[in-house]
C-alpha cells in the first residue's frame, strides 16, 4: 500500500532575475524532496507557459498558483525575506487552513 506524499507549496521573495529565481526554486524543491514532500512551485511548474508581458496571462498564473496553494497541506516559506507576494500566500494559506512553515521548519522533522 502506498502512502500519500504531503504536498508543500513553495513560496519566496523571488529574485527579479528569472534565472536566479529558478535556480533558488530548484534548490528549495530539492530540499523538500529529500524530506519526503511533493513540492508545488509555480515558477517552475508554469515556466515557459505564461508570457511575462501579458497581464491576462499574469492573472491566470496567479489563479492557478492560488489553486495549487489551496490544494497543498503546507505552505513553505523559503529564503530570509518576505514581500507582498509571500504575505498574500500566507493570507491565502491561513484562510484555506494550510499549515504555514519555513524551509528550516520542515528540514529534519
pLDDT for res 2 = 66
Residue 9: which of 105, 108, 101 has the closest Cα? 101
pLDDT for res 5 = 93
What's the CATH fold of domain 7-106? Rossmann fold (3.40.50)
Query: What's the sign of the alpha-carbon dihedral 28, 29, 32, 37?
Result: positive
pLDDT for res 108 = 63
CB 75 within 8 A of CB 89: yes
> Using CA atoms, how far apart are residues 12 and 24, in angstroms rounded to an integer?
9
Please state the pTM of the whole predicted model: 0.91
Q: What is the mean pLDDT of each run of 10 residues along the chain (109 residues)?
A: 86 95 97 96 91 83 95 96 96 97 84
Q: Domain-by-domain residue ranges, the chain? A: 7-106
Amino acid at each position: 500500500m502506498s502512502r500519500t506524499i504531503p504536498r508543500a507549496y513553495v513560496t519566496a521573495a523571488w529574485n527579479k532575475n528569472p534565472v536566479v529565481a529558478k535556480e533558488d526554486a530548484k534548490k528549495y524543491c530539492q530540499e523538500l524532496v529529500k524530506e519526503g514532500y511533493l513540492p508545488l512551485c509555480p515558477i517552475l511548474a508554469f515556466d515557459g507557459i505564461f508570457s511575462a508581458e501579458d497581464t491576462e496571462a499574469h492573472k491566470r498564473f496567479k489563479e492557478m498558483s492560488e489553486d495549487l496553494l489551496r490544494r497543498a497541506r503546507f505552505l513553505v516559506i523559503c529564503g530570509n525575506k518576505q514581500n507582498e507576494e509571500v504575505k498574500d500566500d500566507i493570507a491565502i494559506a491561513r484562510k484555506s487552513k494550510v499549515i504555514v512553515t519555513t524551509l528550516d521548519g520542515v528540514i529534519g522533522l
